Amino acid sequence: MSNKQAIPAEEIVELTQLALEDVKAQDILVIDVRDKNSITDFMVIATGTSNRQISAMREKVRELVKAKGVKPLGEEGAGDSDWVLLDLDTVVVHMMTAAARQFYDLERLWQGAEQSRAASAAHHTPGNE
């Protein structure tokens, strides 16, 4: 994986969390999938309250990782999509509306993997505002 040599996956996760927190993403979850697949090391899942916020989340993540020399390998769902995926090689970021997140339930799909919530997630989780 090309980004591994440039910047450790853990640092990309931290940058991603900072970017998402900066634009008030909700319920940020990091899933360590290193022992579960060979495609990526971590998945980050975050909820946006609107398609506009999800677009801002995508832009902020791209901006912060680009500043560290990480170029996204791919992107899916841009525009007014309920689910945007940003492939940063060692980290895949899923930014979704609450309805899409509930419907696709990626947390359940990866429930055997180690999961951790961002420190500020409780502040941005629906019902805890």
* Predicted local confidence at residue 3, as pLDDT: 42
Q: Per CATH, the architecture of 2-118 is what?
A: 2-Layer Sandwich (3.30)
* Predicted local confidence at residue 90, as pLDDT: 94
Q: Answer whether 0.95 is exceeded by the pTM.
A: no
* pLDDT tens column, 2-23: 444 479 999 999 999 999 999 9
* pLDDT tens column, 66-120: 999 999 999 998 778 899 999 999 999 999 999 999 998 888 877 664 555 555 5
CB environment 13-42: b (16+ within 10 A), e (fewer): bebbbebbbebebbbbbbbbbeeeeeebbb
Residue 123 pLDDT greater than 60, yes or no: no
Instruction: For the chain, give every domain's residue range.
Output: 2-118
